[in-house]
């Protein structure tokens, strides 16, 4: 009697679980599918939009534009200093002296003067050289900003491509699992399989649906990052780039901008060597005197020159600051050289390895796909159980995902190689 009751109890549990799977799971799957459909793609593919056009948009709205505008004002100021007639602004002075509060003999004196700074030897030429180097450095910084924007854009668009590929793959897997669940249902009605097989098939379908929702969420995150970067709701339909023929980073805007900054620092040091002392001053003056006993006016003119002496107190900090700027520029250049060499090495290696892996993955995918197809037929004929079928389907899915992801990864690695050698999309 006890064994009969326990058997009836187990039957009720299985029957309740069957009802749950058949009615609750499909409702949950439909609900999750509906939630995923509420978030449509916010970044559409435009076949008439190119990566270069999007790159210009990224550069135009990049926050570093404010810094470049400030540098432009500095360059303009240096050009004004180099093209000026005088190294500094002249000065004028006026003085008056009388004895009204002392001897009171009606003695009066008026004096006016103008002080004109004189160029130091080589100063004007050095200022012109610094202005030219500053202008060149600014141009290289603009090119460097384009290269930075290209790096951000390439990562953003290929991230979206990867996420869209994941979404498509998990949707295919979900559809496959639904089709298998229908086959299991038919065999169950024919009395060929147990209810537990149906439950297992539904669980696999629900798992595939869950993966689709997760993949869709990751896609939305990637699209949002693209919108933040570009300010656009469209992206190019074609992302592939031809592999550059460059073999080093010598033409990279990063490298050229760092070299330009070093040359500018050296030019500023040369200018500091000249301007380590103040400019001589030429003074032209006129004086008018009315004597205490002679009411006639006596007017005269004078010329004076003031030559400041060189002082270590002024010279030492100026040269030290110039040398520090050169040291900073050289440090940045050497650090960048190592980084660019590492980037180029990794880009070359990753591209080579990814191409080799693609060849192997293509062979694996062909085998896995054929096995899955044969397993599906064998299951329908009752020659294979559900666990074996699901295992082979999972292998086929993983092989398909590896193939499509690797194909995109090869193209992404081509873009990264182009980035490493300084080629814009």
* Residue 225 pLDDT exceeds 90: yes
pLDDT of residue 265: 95
pLDDT of residue 400: 79
| H or E element that contains 95 | strand 91-98
* Residue 54 pLDDT exceeds 80: yes
Average pLDDT over residues 132-156: 95
Token output for 271: 């200018």
Higher pLDDT, 202 or 116: 116
Higher pLDDT, 340 or 200: 340
**What distances in angstroms separate CA 252 from CA 34, 196, 343, one per listed residue?**
48, 62, 12
Band of residue 140 on the pLDDT scale cut at 50, 70, 90? very high
pLDDT of residue 70: 94
pLDDT digits over 167-222, tens only? 988 888 788 778 777 777 776 777 766 677 777 778 878 888 888 899 899 999 99
pLDDT of residue 249: 92
Residue 215 CB partners (closer than 8 Å, separation 6+): 163, 166, 167, 169, 170
Band of residue 292 on the pLDDT scale cut at 50, 70, 90? low
pLDDT of residue 143: 95
Cα–Cα dist 211/29, whole Å: 11
* Residue 394 pLDDT exceeds 60: yes
pLDDT averaged over every residue in the chain: 83
pLDDT of residue 370: 77
pLDDT of residue 121: 92
pLDDT of residue 193: 65
Higher pLDDT, 242 or 5: 242
Say how far residue 180 (Cα) sits from the centre of its chain.
Answer: 45
pLDDT of residue 30: 46
Q: Is the dihedral of CA 42, 47, 49, 51 positive or negative?
A: positive
Among 156-165, 196-205, 404-413, where is mean pLDDT lowest?
196-205
Band of residue 28 on the pLDDT scale cut at 50, 70, 90? very low
pLDDT digits over 302-327, tens only? 898 888 887 777 788 888 999 999 99
pLDDT of residue 278: 87
* Residue 379 pLDDT exceeds 70: no
Global confidence as pTM: 0.78
CB 287 within 8 A of CB 110: yes
Nearest to 145 by CA among 248, 250, 254, 246: 254
Token output for 386: 């559900």
pLDDT of residue 268: 94
Band of residue 23 on the pLDDT scale cut at 50, 70, 90? very low
Residue 107: burial class (beta carbons within 10 Å; 0-12, 13-18, 19+): middle
pLDDT of residue 25: 39
Average pLDDT over residues 294-298: 73
Percentage, residues of the chain above pLDDT 70? 87
Band of residue 22 on the pLDDT scale cut at 50, 70, 90? very low
pLDDT of residue 333: 95
Average pLDDT over residues 130-156: 95
CB 270 within 8 A of CB 318: no
Among 22-26, 57-61, 90-94, 340-344, where is mean pLDDT lowest?
22-26
- In the chain, the domains with their CATH numbers are 10-420 (1.20.1600.10)
pLDDT of residue 18: 42
pLDDT of residue 36: 43
pLDDT of residue 41: 52
Radius of gyration of the chain (CA): 40
């Amino acid at each position: 009697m006890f064994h009969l009751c326990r058997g009836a109890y187990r039957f009720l549990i299985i029957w309740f679980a069957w009802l749950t799977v058949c009615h609750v799971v499909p409702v949950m799957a439909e609900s999750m599918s509906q939630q995923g459909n509420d978030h449509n793609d916010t970044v559409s593919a435009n076949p008439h939009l190119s990566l270069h056009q999007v790159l210009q948009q990224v550069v135009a709205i990049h926050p570093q534009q404010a810094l470049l505008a400030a540098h432009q004002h500095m360059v303009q100021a240096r050009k004004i200093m180099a093209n000026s007639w005088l190294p500094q602004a002249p000065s004028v002075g006026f003085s008056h002296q009388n004895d009204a509060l002392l001897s009171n003999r009606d003695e009066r004196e008026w004096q006016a003067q103008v002080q004109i700074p004189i160029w130091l030897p080589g100063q004007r030429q050095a200022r012109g050289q610094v202005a030219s180097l500053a202008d060149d450095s600014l141009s290289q910084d603009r090119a460097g900003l384009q290269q930075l924007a290209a790096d951000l854009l390439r990562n953003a668009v290929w991230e979206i491509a990867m996420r869209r590929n994941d979404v498509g793959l998990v949707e295919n897997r979900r559809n496959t699992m639904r089709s298998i669940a229908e086959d299991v249902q038919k065999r169950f009605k024919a009395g060929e399989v147990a209810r537990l097989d149906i439950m297992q098939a539904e669980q696999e379908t629900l798992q595939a649906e869950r993966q689709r929702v997760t993949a869709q969420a990751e896609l939305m995150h990637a699209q949002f990052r693209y919108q933040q970067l570009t300010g656009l709701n469209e992206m190019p339909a074609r992302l592939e780039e031809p592999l550059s023929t460059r073999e080093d980073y010598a033409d990279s805007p990063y490298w050229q901008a760092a070299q330009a900054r070093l040359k500018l620092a050296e030019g500023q040091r040369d200018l500091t060597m000249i301007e380590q002392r103040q400019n001589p001053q030429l003074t032209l003056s006129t004086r008018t005197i009315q004597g205490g006993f002679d009411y006639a006016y006596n007017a005269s003119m004078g010329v004076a020159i003031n030559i400041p002496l060189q002082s270590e107190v002024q010279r030492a900090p100026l040269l030290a600051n110039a040398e520090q700027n050169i040291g900073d520029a050289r440090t940045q250049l050497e650090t960048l050289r190592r980084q660019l060499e590492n980037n180029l090495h990794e880009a070359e290696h990753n591209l080579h390895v990814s191409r080799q892996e693609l060849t192997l993955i293509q062979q694996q995918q062909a085998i896995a796909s054929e096995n899955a197809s044969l397993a599906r037929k064998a299951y329908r004929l009752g020659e294979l159980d559900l666990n074996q079928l699901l295992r082979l389907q999972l292998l086929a899915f993983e092989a398909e995902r590896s193939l499509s992801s690797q194909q995109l990864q090869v193209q992404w690695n081509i873009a990264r190689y182009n980035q490493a050698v300084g080629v814009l999309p």
